Amino acid sequence: MKPRERFLTALNCGIPDQVPLFDHLFSPRLQKDVLGYASELYDGESIVKLAHKIGIDSSWIPVNGFCGTEEEVHDEGTAYIDEWGVSYVKNGWPIMAQRDTPIKDRNDWTNYRLPDAHAPFRLDRITKAIKANEGETAILCGMLGPFTMMSWYFMDLPNFSVAMFTDPQLIHEINNAYIDWTLAVAKKVAMLEGIGAFFISDDWGTTTGPLIAPDQFDEFFIPPFKRMVQGLKSLGFPVIMHNDGNIWDMLDGLVGTGISGFNPVERAASMDLKKVKERYPGKLCCIGNVDNKVTLVSGSVEEVIAETKECLEIGMPGGGYILSSDHSFHDDIPLENIFAMIETVKKYGKY
């Protein structure tokens, strides 16, 4: 099988020729080592080339306007504002933490205008990735989910938390407007040839539990998230959700929205791969579970191999499993551990 076919077979809970690989390629050092350069921006062309060279079957490529990613290069420590009105100080790669958000209350929302979904540059990153995709990896179109947009980028967590009680309709209005925007962009993406799936990033939990009460997720975020998922699926593509943290309390509701894949099954947050697979047999593809905070960062090559083999032993039976770290490849991970994880899947992940 070619990488795209392998990845999509597993994502649809089938059995491919071998376990596919996914990861967020967030390591400039890895890029430099493999490609001979580190791109200043997270660009589609470099990511698909890197994925192909190291044997990853898929490439995460966010739409232009994905909050936290840069559209132009800024010097470290430079303050800037993106098209959403979110303020940042350049402090990392490829995703920056925000410094301030545009909406504090209803007055701000009344005067707020969302970016143009049809802006000419909106699909630049994805278009370049498709053009460069000679290795035929599965290109995953990245978009943010409504909770992350609400609590990180439209509002901040304190103001959003107050608004749930003082002006709950404000939360619903912002969510609905954002889902409309997302689906408008997705329709443009769907017209491109070369996309494999949509990939929604929407972190709901910490390592110990949800960021807000489960019933608040049920009231404010499961319905718009489901509308987003169903809208994306209606365009003919499967949908993956990236959701860090311990989200056991919301997992049934999340799976009920119709997602095909769940990433990263965070080991450090007590998301047990075996339990998740057993809970949704043939219904949900698990993606992840190799610890990128301890094992990949400070473990020996032998320990990385052992944990990767453990994930394969649990995830492989019956198909519907894609191996990855439980978040990303980043610069704190020794390159030999990244390559050991990949090589272990190639050696022991054949069906």
Please report which confidence band the pLDDT of residue 283 belongs to, taking 50, 70 and 90 as the band edges.
very high
Q: How far apart are CA 341 and CA 295, in angstroms?
A: 11
**pLDDT per residue as tens digits for the range 284-333:** 999 999 999 999 999 999 999 999 999 999 999 999 999 999 999 999 99
**Domain annotation for the chain: domains and CATH numbers:** 3-348 (3.20.20.210)
What values do phi and psi take at 114, rounded to 5? Answer: -70, 155
| pLDDT higher than threshold 90 for residue 56 | yes
Q: How far is CA 136 from CA 4, 13, 25, 60, 118, in A?
A: 6, 20, 17, 13, 27
| pLDDT higher than threshold 90 for residue 20 | yes
What values do phi and psi take at 131, rounded to 5? Answer: -65, -35
The answer to whether the beta carbons of residues 284 and 239 sit under 8 Å apart is: no
- In this structure, are strands 58-62 and 79-81 parallel, antiparallel, or unpaired? unpaired
What values do phi and psi take at 58, rounded to 5? Answer: -150, 160
Q: How far apart are CA 274 and CA 258, in angstroms?
A: 21
Which pair of structure tokens corresponds to residue 155? 């509002």
Nearest partner of 26 among 255, 277, 333, 336, judged by Cα = 333
| pLDDT higher than threshold 90 for residue 240 | yes
Q: How far apart are CA 170 and CA 177, in angstroms?
A: 11
Q: State the amino acid at position 300 in one-letter form.
A: S
For the chain, the residue count is 351
Q: What average pLDDT does this structure show over 117-134?
A: 97
* Cβ neighbours around 190 below 10 Å, total: 16
Q: How far apart are CA 287 and CA 62, in angstroms?
A: 18
Please report which confidence band the pLDDT of residue 237 belongs to, taking 50, 70 and 90 as the band edges.
very high
Q: State the amino acid at position 90 in one-letter form.
A: K
Q: How far apart are CA 322 and CA 13, in angstroms?
A: 10
Which pair of structure tokens corresponds to residue 221? 């975020």
Angle, in degrees to the nearest 10, between helices 44-54 and 124-132? 40
Q: How far apart are CA 269 and CA 247, in angstroms?
A: 9
Strands (E) across 157-294 are located at 195-201, 239-242, 261-263, 285-287
Q: How far is CA 302 from CA 85, 298, 337, 341, 349, in A?
A: 47, 11, 9, 10, 17
Give the pLDDT score at 197. Answer: 98
Q: State the amino acid at position 210 in one-letter form.
A: P
The answer to whether the beta carbons of residues 2 and 58 sit under 8 Å apart is: no
Which pair of structure tokens corresponds to residue 61? 């490529």
**pLDDT per residue as tens digits for the range 73-86:** 999 999 999 999 99
pTM: 0.97
The answer to whether the beta carbons of residues 68 and 95 sit under 8 Å apart is: yes
Which pair of structure tokens corresponds to residue 129? 């990735």
Mean pLDDT of the chain: 97
The answer to whether the beta carbons of residues 323 and 308 sit under 8 Å apart is: yes
Q: Give the angle 334-141-154 at the CA atoms, nearest 5°.
A: 95
**pLDDT per residue as tens digits for the range 208-224:** 999 999 999 999 999 99
Please report which confidence band the pLDDT of residue 135 belongs to, taking 50, 70 and 90 as the band edges.
confident
